[in-house]
Structure 1
Amino acid sequence: MDSPVQIPFKSFIQLKAEDATPVYLQIIFEFIKAIQLGLLPEGTKLPGTRILCKILLVNRNTLIKAFQDLEAQGFIEIRPNQGTFILSDQKQYQGKREISKAEKSNKAVGGFSFKCSSVLENPVEWSDLPLQFNDGLPDIRLVHTDIVARLYVSKLKRQKVREPWAQIQTQAHQHFKKQFFNFLNLTRGLRISESNLLTTSSHEVSLYLVAKLLLSEGDYVVVGSPGYYLSNMTLTDSGAKIIPVAVDEEGLHLAALKKVCETQKIRMVYLTSIYHYPSTILLSAKRRMEMLELAHQYGFVIVEDDYDFDFHLDSNPVLPLAAIDANEHVVYLGSFARSLPAGFGYGFITAPAAFIKELEKHQRILEPGIDVMKEQVLTNWIQDGEVHRLSKKNKLIYKARRDAFVRLLNDKLKGRIRFNIPTRGLAVWIEWLDHFNLIKMQQKCAENGLFLPKTILYQTKNMIATRLGFGSMNLNEMENAVDILARSLKSLLNKRND
């Protein structure tokens, strides 16, 4: 963005006069959310307080108070005679800081108060527009709900009610885990046993449990930049301080990571090594080995998130770092059966047995019950090869959609974008070659019936990019969506040149 005044603050800083939360706290929370979503990129110079007060319609003393708190938290830097800047590089992570007023703030309702989080604000938007891009979700229209329903009902009818329920749960769960760890060993090249596996209700729960056990207040965690907003929120909520490291064409930049390790004690590196979110980059073979060596040298834990393994579309899948981890530095997270109906998918964690045993203690509080029927259905699907059959069928469909989507991008946006064809996953990361504001692009697309959620928009001083999920669209929907993108871009550029 050429000038701080050009930043459309009103489009993402939403202040509500009727809200019981003080205005200065609303400003703090909204700025933190905008920074985490990449709407205010690192190094951005903010307008002067007088100008910003006129834009946001707030009192200058209120804004100054909010900025002082944001600076104390490490989100901005106020430089005398220069201006106010979103912090760049690693400045916000150096040294200790006191817990700010915003972090300590409680919100009172009725006769009690409770802690407010400035981290866990929900950034997800909803729309009823006929066409919608997402960040790479599967198509629910391809889900075989009828088959799963029949299996589930048959298990209910055959249930041996005479046996003690606790015994039924234990036996069924152990049988499921046996089939599941064999399945993971076969498909992902792991060498685990039942004691190295924990299954959870979702991928998000898996990361929450791992963060709770590994991280303490003030621990440093390295993540790829750009990164995944939800995982960053989970890690930050645990009390960790996030250090972003750039991702280039070979994945996480390990020279930069090593430099960080030489100056800070890193507790964890959160890594999407096979299909980086959002840029879809694969960590190169050379860097994969170097990453394991760095973990051994500096003693940090690699939390490897393989969130989209189900959708490798070309040749054989690349195996995770966990498959070649000789020194047990990797905690491997993944999801299972994303093509099944909602509620039938699973998250899982593989790690050293002692770590899994400790995780189970926390899971018993968070997820005390076991859905025996669901586990029996999935056990049957694995044993009968139905999971492989469904996966193979859906991959053919999604590969055809990817190839069609790539052709449409090349036809309608040629010369305006650059991208690599992803070998897995259901999204394409495109970088725009023209300079324009993505929020204005979002608004222009919405006028034409296409929804672009802010969570797929990435804009910094040196990059304008978008993660476009194609998996949930058929060919006709893709054609219409890309056509709207092209027309909206043309309209924006023409307006700018007038």
Structure 2
Amino acid sequence: MNSPAEIPYQSFITIDRSSEVSVYMQISNQLINAIQRGFLPFGTKLPGTRTLSMILAVHRNTIVAVYDELLAQGWIESFPNKGTFIIGKDQNKDVAVKSFKKNHLENYPKTTGFSFKTSNILDNPFEYSECEYIFNDGIPDVRLTQVDQYSRNYSSILKRKAYKIGQYNQDGSEFFKQNLSQYLNLSRGLPISKNNLLITRSTEMSMYIVSEILLSAGDTVLVGELSYFSVNMIFQRTGVKISSVSIDEDGINVEEVRRICEKQKIRMLYLTPHHHYPTTVTLSAARRLELLNLAHEYGFIILEDDYDYDFHYDKSPILPLASADTEGMVIYIGSFGKSLAPGFRTGFIVAPENIMAEMRKYLGIIDRQGDILMEHVLGEMIAEGEINRYLKKSLKIYKERRDYFTFLLKEYFGESIDFKVPSGGLAVWTEWKVPVNLMKLSKQCVKDNLFIPKTLLYQNRNLTAMRLGFGNFNDHEMKTAVEILSHNIKTISE
């Protein structure tokens, strides 16, 4: 190809005049892209500014700006009386230029040119739907959150001088940790200081950090016979062996834990004692003490997940195992602000100081920046007592919803289901006493605009159950959802 003008520039340079990106930058970026992918080989002579402006139907000054940009970035060089060339050796130029006659510039590659590990364990288990009514496993209603108040607090902090907010390090806002440690001391009986706290983005991040530090391939982890699937996925990723322990009306079977410990080495026991996930039963006080003694005797870690501690209605909640731990065997994981707007929620880990130092190293790698502004807002909400006022108000609403939801379950299903009114939390564990194909029921309900994710369905030879969240429904929505569920139970049973 003798003339640089013969290169079909229009085949790989397109101009969007409605774009916010300037025309000269659009052309510059596409020329660079062509160079990087080998469609314009090193040493290729580019057309003069007048010629290229005519080819692309733009003003000559635009092409002058393009060449200035390419020159500034080091892609081209100009020689007096010779022209402008792409920097580099003139290798295989003719072959590459001729390929333009058959091929346009390729899109971004669809596959990698290298191999990598894949994991079925971490496949996303969550489902999504456009249905108007959706059962979840116990998520608060974002419509109840005082977004305006949070926004004012956030805006107020943004206007302050940085030194008034404090410096951020990979361990989080010192102001927030100080207030959160005092809050956990008063509300959950945890005699801790800010040095025992690690602030994370979520429960899942907390679990990941704990697993990376404490678990190795081949370790044995005990979980409830029914347990939180997301946490199990994190455990399995580390290559541990997961063994299940039966659950009854008083929580995890402690005698079964003892028998397992007598036969093999156990590294960790994961449990949700406040309201076991998914059955919502509370671990009895006697069993809590027994587990602490077993952990000390056999040397296994207790990983305590208090995912919904703030939601209790009928009586004061039983204090966490961590509040009675004197031997340093319990790692306590929780969430703060779960009843607040999603952007104002955070996770945390409570542990002895020596392991906390190691956890900070991992947090510094995966979340060094953090969110000092959001944490400062939460710290002020604690310091000013606003978080307690909001919880008191929201708990009243959620208690009323729990009572109405359990009333509807009794009214529409009667003796067909078995459930206990939960003392806290935002979900009801329901066991069916009549034959029901839950997957078929879920698919049928979608036709009537009700979505029941498969993660809420528990069915095997001995069990047919559902974990049904009520917190996200108002009374009208709740009744409609139960009516749809009842109607489709009858439909698939006919």
Give yes or no for TM over 0.5. yes
Q: Is the 8 A contact 1:172 1:376 kept in 2?
A: no
Residue in structure 2 matched with residue 244 of structure 1 by the alignment: 244
Which residues of 2 match residues 458-477 of structure 1 at below 5 A?
458-477=458-477
Residue in structure 2 matched with residue 136 of structure 1 by the alignment: 138
Query: What is the CA distance between 1:468 and its match in structure 2?
Result: 0.2
Q: TM-score, normalised by structure 1?
A: 0.75
Q: Which runs of 4+ in 1 moved over 2 A?
A: 167-172
Residue in structure 1 matched with residue 127 of structure 2 by the alignment: 125
Deviation per CA, 1:383-417: give whole Å up to 9, x if none.
11000001110000000000000100010010100
**Separation in 2, partners of 1:290, 1:261:** 13
Task: Establish whether residue 315 from structure 1 lines up as the match of residue 315 from structure 2.
Answer: yes
267-276 vs 336-345, which moves further: 336-345
**Separation in 1, partners of 2:164, 2:450:** 54
Residue in structure 2 matched with residue 454 of structure 1 by the alignment: 454
Q: Which amino acid aligns with 1:132?
A: I
**Separation in 2, partners of 1:205, 1:430:** 30
Task: Establish whether residue 150 from structure 1 lines up as the match of residue 149 from structure 2.
Answer: no
Where does structure 1 lack aligned partners over 5 or more consecutive residues? 1-107
Q: Which amino acid aligns with 1:390?
A: Y
Query: What is the CA distance between 1:370 and its match in structure 2?
Result: 3.0
Q: Secondary structure of the equivalent of 2:119?
A: coil
Residue in structure 2 matched with residue 386 of structure 1 by the alignment: 386
Q: Secondary structure of the equivalent of 1:169?
A: coil
Q: Is the 8 A contact 2:245 2:252 kept in 1?
A: yes
Q: Which amino acid aligns with 1:261?
A: C
Q: Secondary structure of the equivalent of 2:247?
A: strand
Query: What is the CA distance between 1:343 and its match in structure 2?
Result: 2.2
Pick 1 or 2: higher relative contact order, CA cutoff 8 A, min separation 6: 1
Q: Secondary structure of the equivalent of 2:115?
A: strand
Query: What is the CA distance between 1:436 and its match in structure 2?
Result: 2.2
Q: Is the 8 A contact 1:427 1:471 kept in 2?
A: yes
Q: How many residues align?
A: 384
Give RMSD over aligned pairs. 1.6
Q: Secondary structure of the equivalent of 1:265?
A: coil
Q: Which amino acid aligns with 2:337?
A: A
Q: Which amino acid aligns with 1:142?
A: L
250-259 vs 145-154, which moves further: 250-259
Residue in structure 2 matched with residue 68 of structure 1 by the alignment: none
Task: Establish whether residue 401 from structure 1 lines up as the match of residue 401 from structure 2.
Answer: yes
Query: What is the CA distance between 1:119 and its match in structure 2?
Result: 0.5
Query: What is the CA distance between 1:159 and its match in structure 2?
Result: 2.1
Q: Secondary structure of the equivalent of 1:467?
A: strand
**Separation in 1, partners of 2:471, 2:197:** 30
Residue in structure 1 matched with residue 217 of structure 2 by the alignment: 217
Q: Is the 8 A contact 1:303 1:331 kept in 2?
A: yes
Where does structure 2 lack aligned partners over 5 or more consecutive residues? 1-109
Q: Secondary structure of the equivalent of 2:180?
A: helix
Q: Is the 8 A contact 1:275 1:425 kept in 2?
A: yes
Deviation per CA, 1:279-319: give whole Å up to 9, x if none.
00101122111111111111100000000012112221211
Query: What is the CA distance between 1:259 and its match in structure 2?
Result: 1.7
Change (3 A) 1:164 1:452: closer
Residue in structure 2 matched with residue 169 of structure 1 by the alignment: 168
Q: Secondary structure of the equivalent of 1:348?
A: strand
Which residues of 2 match residues 427-446 of structure 1 at below 5 A?
427-446=427-446
Q: TM-score, normalised by structure 2?
A: 0.76
**Separation in 2, partners of 1:193, 1:158:** 27
**Separation in 1, partners of 2:450, 2:300:** 43
Q: Which amino acid aligns with 1:128?
A: E
**Separation in 2, partners of 1:449, 1:137:** 19
Query: What is the CA distance between 1:109 and its match in structure 2?
Result: 3.2
Q: Secondary structure of the equivalent of 1:334?
A: strand
**Separation in 2, partners of 1:136, 1:294:** 31
Query: What is the CA distance between 1:172 and its match in structure 2?
Result: 8.3
Q: Which amino acid aligns with 2:475?
A: L
Which residues of 2 match residues 29-48 of structure 1 at below 5 A?
none
**Separation in 2, partners of 1:418, 1:294:** 33
Task: Establish whether residue 116 from structure 1 lines up as the match of residue 118 from structure 2.
Answer: yes
Q: Percent identity?
A: 47
Deviation per CA, 1:173-196: give whole Å up to 9, x if none.
222211110011010011111221
Q: Secondary structure of the equivalent of 1:199?
A: strand
